[in-house]
Structure 1
Amino acid sequence: MKQFLLIAFCATSLTAAAPLPSEAAQIKRACLASDRSAATRQRCSCIQRVADQALTRTDQKTVSKWFSDPHQAQELKMSQTARDDALWDRYQAFGQMAKAICS
């Protein structure tokens, strides 16, 4: 599974559009600003690269807020809307990819 995710990540990295400068690295900035000891520049940069492949810019904006307020993630997870369920599924896939690639 890890190998499949890595291959998928690499394949899609060739076709991704670059984010606008004002929107770039939202996840990386939130990661670095968090008080987690594992939030190194290298790891946060890796997580941002995965986010660029797995999440839309809008998703990244939403998810980046969860670093400082994890309760927002819990609220979305418990939501019953199809839109929130879809975001949660994308977030779960992103988390699995980030763990496989950036650990």
Structure 2
Amino acid sequence: MRIFLVIGAVATLAACGGGRVSGDISAACNSAGRVAASPQLCSCVQQVANQSLSGRDQARAATFFADPERAQDTRQSDNRNDEAFWRRYRAFADLATQVCRPVAS
């Protein structure tokens, strides 16, 4: 199943022609001040988020850029909703790492 997601994500990114995509994730990524962040990388991560996270999940995940402690608290939470969100978030993060790694290089 994961390979189909990766293939779909790569095909979608290729179809976009490298155009920039904006959203909660890309805005947070661009404003986080991390050295490795670039408009191209942040746009790639946003495109993966658009394919794998709901708008609500994207807004929640975007807060992790400014407040990494919030991510840690969510990961360690015993709340069922937090646990379900964390599984979706990790799947997104793993896919974004695979798909966007060439952009970061």
Where on the TM-score scale, by shorter chain, does this alignment land: which range? 0.7 to 0.9
- 8 Å Cα contact 1:28-1:44 kept in structure 2: yes
Is 1:74 the equivalent of 2:72? yes
The amino acid that maps onto 1:6 is V
Q: Deviations 1:56-93 (Å, cap 9, x if unpaired)?
A: 11111111011000000111111101111010000100
Q: Distance between the aligned counterparts of 1:47 and 1:80, measured in 2?
A: 28
**Normalising to structure 2: TM-score of the pair?**
0.79
| Aligned AA (1:25) | G
Count how many residue pairs are aligned between Structure 1 and Structure 2. Answer: 93
Tell me if the contact between 1:50 and 1:97 (Cα under 8 Å) persists in the aligned partners. yes
- Evaluate the alpha carbon distance shift between residue 11 and residue 39 of structure 1 in structure 2; reply closer, same or farther with a 3 A threshold: closer
Which has a greater percent of helix?
2
Counterpart position of 1:92: 90
SS in 2 for 1:39: coil
Q: Is contact 2:53-2:89 (8 Å) kept?
A: yes
Superposition pairs for residues 41-60 of structure 1, below 5 Å?
41-60=39-58
List structure 1 segments (4+ residues) > 4 angstroms apart after TM superposition. Answer: 10-13
Give the drift of 1:35: 1.5
Give unpaired runs (5+ residues) of structure 2: 14-21
* Identical aligned residues as a percent: 41
Counterpart amino acid of residue 9 in structure 2? F
Gaps of 5+ in 1: 14-23
Cα RMSD for the two superposed structures = 2.3
Preserved contact between residue 24 and residue 58 of structure 2 (Cα < 8 Å): yes
Instruction: Give the TM-score normalised by structure 1.
Output: 0.80
